[in-house]
Structure 1
């Protein structure tokens, strides 16, 4: 029996390359925090029921679910391991318009840090009872960070709710 070059090539493609194509894609790490409804300090307050942060290689995405759609601020504090962090802020006005900004300093950093952080690309979509904040990873230490943890604060005239209740999420590796 003679083995042709075509047979060898086909064997290599099917035996080596095909299994590589079946490998599952790399997914960013995500941390989810569930917060009980009704703990926001009053019926008119922004009540967090769930928060999830995905720490992707190019994008950090926070998705905050609320008990009801109300005006106010959703603030996601992002704390990179061993360095200073920042806050992603989404503000929903009474007319339904939404504005966004990035502020220096995570809640865990301590101290007063004023002024917005210059970074283009923060995108906020607030649809009914879910606010989605997506920030390019380059906005945090020029993208040079690894694991992060987060906490969420809502404000509606005063502090409304915080999640998680224990202070911060677990560490979320970069994916």
Structure 2
């Protein structure tokens, strides 16, 4: 791909990410083209359908989330690293659901769209969780499967009661009462 074509594709993708995050998947391709500073033909040259563009935005969002998670490995406080990722996940939840709904409505497999990022996420969560548990700051009786379920729950809770995310995180702190299994 020529460098100008690659730049235009990146502009379209960035504009689509921004506008979809602001207005949802109902944003028009014309609005995206205008925000990117390109013509509508350029949008469709890179993304033959709006669904293809939404799919790419979804993939890019998942990849960015995983990249952000990897960067958290450098934080000195392992619990804060884990909790930052969980808060970010909850914050992005409604946008992820909107993207997934648009893809499903268009007949695009959501699982295929996020397969790469989803494959890396459990390992990243396991690493962040193990570091926080080794530091003694997160309860030792929580596993990745439970953490994943809590991420999903936090995402749903954030829509209705943002404070619920903090309550979920408080329950993960070391010293929190243990539940019977």
Name which one, 1 or 2, has greater alpha-carbon Rg. 1
**Normalized per residue, which structure has more strand?**
1
Q: Fold conserved (TM > 0.5)?
A: no
**Normalized per residue, which structure has more helix?**
2
- State the TM-score, normalized to the length of structure 1: 0.23
- State the TM-score, normalized to the length of structure 2: 0.22
RCO higher in 1 or 2 (8 Å CA, sep ≥ 6)? Answer: 1
